[in-house]
Amino acid sequence: MFTKSLVLILILASIGSASATVIYKWVDKDGVTHYSQQVPENTSTDKIYSEDIEQQPIGFTAPKARPAAPEPSKEEKNAARIKEHNKEQAADICENAQHNLKVLTTHSRFRSKDETTGEVVAMKEEDRQAKIKVQEERIKLFCKK
Cut 0.85: pTM above it? no
Q: How distant, in Å, are the alpha carbons of 69, 82, 91, 117, 133 from that of 141? A: 17, 10, 11, 34, 12
Q: pLDDT tens for residues 85-141?
A: 888 898 999 999 999 999 999 988 888 888 888 899 888 899 899 999 999 999 998
Q: pLDDT tens for residues 24-78?
A: 888 888 888 888 888 888 888 888 887 777 777 777 777 788 888 888 888 888 8
